[in-house]
Amino acid sequence: MRPVRVLGAAIAIAAVTLAAAGCGDDGKTGGDKTGDGKTQASGDGGGTVTVQAGNGAVTVPAHPKRIVSLSPTHTETLFAIGAGPQITAADSLSDYPANAPRTKLSAFKPNAEAIINYRPDLVVLSNDMDGVVKALQKVKVPVLLEPAAAKLDDAYDEINDLGQATGHVAEARKVTDGMRADIQKTVAASTKGKGLTYYHELDNQLHTVTSQTFVGQVYGLFGLRNVADAADKASGGYPQLSREYLVKKDPDLVFLADTKCCGQNAAAVAKRPGFGDLKAVKDGGVVPLDDDLASRWGPRLPQFVKAIGDAVQKTR
């Protein structure tokens, strides 16, 4: 299975984890303080901080030097906030930035023993598959579970969590402030979205997202209406549509988040049975996206928002 399809599934799984365990934090993370307000010393003579993550309050070294990241989104974030040099290993899908220390470690079937071999002083992940969090905690490895964001504030909170955990608080705040500003600017400049309908394609088997998902909420910033909402019965926001359903709904815009995984583009969509008559096809409203930008909730999120905004403004 190609990464983007797997990432879409992981977002759905992690959303359940998020609801059960609580999101990254409430913006109130802070250091582990003693009674006199000083940072509490750890056993090796260094300081520690306590971060409120999806797996509760986690105490980590104030400046971890051997971070293992098992999330492409969090790998991007760590580099964006200046913690890239502190990463010892990243999972097999952490392909951005290009100098990320990518390994064969799996984010979706994590192996605790393989992770421990990197001697991490902090592990960051976005889902607790196969009980990896407990397995690492048993050997005293600090683990931050920062699940897939359910809303924009979650994305910002998780970036600030990682800043707190790695000694890059100011840099993390700068990143989130910049993201907010860029997104607000794009949305303000996109005036044609209200009332337009759209379909966001995760793969060429017509799996999609609804308005209740993180991705769906991003589209909602523009006032766009999701044609998949009525089809979501019990899929938790990730239904698979039929060709007939999509043709009947005839969306104004079709966003393709399967250009890398499945080779989809406007020409390929137009060749599908019945799709040649779609309004989006006839009016140039089929929009190819970067699969990774459309499936990650980290520092490059404004680029995904910008792609939507540009498409909205080009709508006839």
Bridge partners, residue 57, by sequence: 52
| pLDDT value at residue 236 | 87
Looking at residues 294-316, what average pLDDT do you find?
Answer: 96
Tokens 């140039």 sit at which residue?
Answer: 284
The total number of residues shown for the chain amounts to: 316
The alpha helices in 148-251, defined as continuous H runs, are: 152-166, 169-189, 214-220, 243-249
Q: Are strands 48-53 and 56-61 parallel, antiparallel or unpaired?
A: antiparallel
| pLDDT value at residue 4 | 37
* Fold equal for 3-30+43-181 and 190-314: yes
232/183: higher pLDDT? 183
| pLDDT value at residue 234 | 75
pLDDT at 45 over 80: no
Helix (H, G, I), strand (E, B) or coil at 107: coil
17/257: higher pLDDT? 257
The span from the CA of 241 to the CA of 33, in Å, is: 52
Query: What pLDDT digit, counting tens, does each position of 120-170 carry?
Result: 999 999 999 889 999 999 999 999 999 999 999 999 999 999 999 999 999
Multiple choice CATH, 3-30+43-181, 3.40.50.300, 3.30.460.80, 3.40.630.30, 3.40.50.1980: 3.40.50.1980
Q: Could you tell me the two tokens for 316?
A: 């006839």
Asked which of 5-9, 34-38, 226-230, 305-309 is least confident by mean pLDDT, the reply is: 34-38
Chain mean position to CA 134: 23
Q: What percent of the chain has pLDDT over 90?
A: 82
CATH topology of domain 190-314: Rossmann fold (3.40.50)
Looking at residues 80-87, what average pLDDT do you find?
Answer: 98
| pLDDT value at residue 261 | 94
The span from the CA of 122 to the CA of 246, in Å, is: 45
pLDDT at 33 over 50: no
Is residue 46 very low, low, confident or very high in pLDDT (cuts 50, 70, 90)? Answer: low
pLDDT at 100 over 80: yes
pLDDT at 29 over 70: no
Looking at residues 31-50, what average pLDDT do you find?
Answer: 48
Domain ranges within the chain, ordered by starting residue: 3-30+43-181, 190-314
